[in-house]
């Protein structure tokens, strides 16, 4: 793994982040890795965590080889024990936490008429619990040490409905509401809370059988392409920086204009 520039978003530069400490959850693949790479380029010290130990350890090792101070922790943040482990490892290694990026989520869902209680709990409750557990510990820490930043990774599904993903979309809508509530309550403690809501985002490896479908998806995006994990990472770095010092309680849609349009191209209402 390398953090050489792979997209325009990788050129983001926020020198004030250098030397600061960030926790990035769900950082074994996809968007989580893109966020970690961009923050690593800013000179941040990273604690990365997820349930996927082998992939996560390999990714973290690649960042270390590229010069990033990086610690990997395997943990399930949907449990209190997992959240406590990540928090204790971060404070034990680095002392202070300046930034928490809540990227971890479970995508399991189903069409509403097939959404049994167990699936709903796994797609809704676990997603919200993963954010709450670690955020509670980190927010109390930040309040004690003079402030910080918490950034949730939401989704366009918190604003617009996906077909077949009712539980997932509900969890992201709840996350958007939590962002606003946390921002109001934590502002007096010097803690800013925002969310980044990605649209359709490119995965590292796309099977050839999906190539045509992705081309059709891109036609429906005003900017004409899928997002990249680094696009999301650049938005996170901006919100964590002093350039965004007066921004809190906001949902930043990084979606190529997807949610700005009433209909996709070619459909008139």
Q: How far are the Cα atoms of 15, 60, 66, 234, 264 from residue 5, in angstroms, in the given order?
A: 17, 17, 12, 12, 32
Q: Residue 220: what pLDDT?
A: 86
The Cβ of residue 188 has, within 10 Å, a number of other Cβ atoms equal to: 8
Overall number of domains in the chain:
1
How many angstroms separate the CA atoms of 217 and 264, rounded? 10
> What pLDDT, on a 0 to 100 scale, did the predictor assign at position 1?
43
Question: pLDDT digits over 128-142, tens only?
Answer: 989 999 999 999 999
From the first residue on, what is the mean pLDDT of each consecutive set of 10 residues in the chain (269 residues)? Answer: 52 90 95 96 97 93 96 95 98 97 86 88 85 97 98 94 87 96 98 96 71 80 93 97 98 95 77
Domain CATH code at residue 229:
3.40.50.720
Q: Residue 70 is part of which domain span?
A: 10-254
- 243 found inside a domain: yes
Q: What span, in angstroms and rounded, lies between the C-alpha atoms of 60 and 49?
A: 9
Q: Is 43 left (phi over 0), alpha (psi -120 to 50) or beta?
A: left
Separation CA 201–CA 134 (nearest Å): 25
Q: Answer whether residue 227 is part of any domain.
A: yes
Q: Is 103 a member of any domain?
A: yes
Residues comprising the chain, all counted: 269
Angle value at C-alpha 104, between 164 and 140, nearest 5 degrees:
130
**Catalytic annotation, pick one of 120, 132, 136, 168:** 168
Instruction: Identify which of 35, 41, 51 has the alpha carbon closest to the alpha carbon of residue 99.
Output: 35
What does the longest C-alpha to C-alpha distance in the chain come to?
57
Is 237 part of any domain? yes
| 262 is a domain residue | no
Predicted confidence (pLDDT) per residue in 192-239, tens digit = 999 999 998 987 666 666 677 778 888 889 999 999 999 999 999 999
Q: Is 260 inside any structural domain?
A: no
Sign of the Cα torsion 105, 108, 113, 118 reads: negative
Residue 139 within a domain: yes
Tell whether 263 is covered by a domain.
no
CA dihedral 60, 66, 70, 74 (to 10 degrees): 0
Told to judge if 246 belongs to the known catalytic residues of this protein, a careful annotator would answer no
């Amino acid at each position: 793994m390398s953090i050489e520039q792979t997209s325009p978003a990788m050129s983001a530069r926020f020198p004030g982040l250098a030397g600061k400490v960030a926790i990035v959850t769900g950082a074994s693949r996809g968007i989580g890795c893109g966020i970690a790479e961009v923050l690593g380029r800013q000179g941040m010290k990273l604690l990365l965590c997820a349930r996927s130990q082998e992939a996560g350890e390999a990714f973290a090792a690649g960042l270390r080889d590229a010069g990033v101070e990086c610690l990997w922790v395997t943990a399930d943040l949907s449990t209190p024990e997992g959240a406590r482990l990540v928090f204790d490892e971060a404070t034990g290694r680095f002392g202070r936490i300046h930034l928490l990026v809540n990227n971890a989520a479970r995508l399991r869902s189903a069409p509403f008429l097939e959404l049994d209680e167990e699936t709903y709990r796994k797609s809704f409750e676990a997603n919200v619990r993963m954010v709450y557990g670690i955020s509670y510990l980190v927010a109390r820490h930040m309040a004690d040490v003079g402030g910080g930043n918490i950034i949730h990774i939401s989704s366009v599904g918190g604003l617009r409905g996906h077909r077949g993903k009712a539980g997932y979309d509900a969890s992201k809508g709840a996350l958007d509401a939590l962002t606003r509530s946390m921002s109001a309550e934590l502002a007096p403690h010097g803690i800013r809370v925002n969310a980044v809501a990605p649209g359709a985002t490119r995965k590292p490896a796309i099977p050839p059988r999906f190539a045509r479908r992705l081309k059709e998806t891109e036609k429906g995006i005003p900017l004409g392409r899928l997002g990249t994990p680094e696009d999301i990472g650049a938005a996170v770095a901006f919100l964590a920086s002093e350039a965004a010092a007066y921004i809190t309680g906001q949902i930043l849609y990084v979606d190529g204009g997807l949610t700005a349009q009433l209909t996709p191209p070619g459909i008139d209402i």
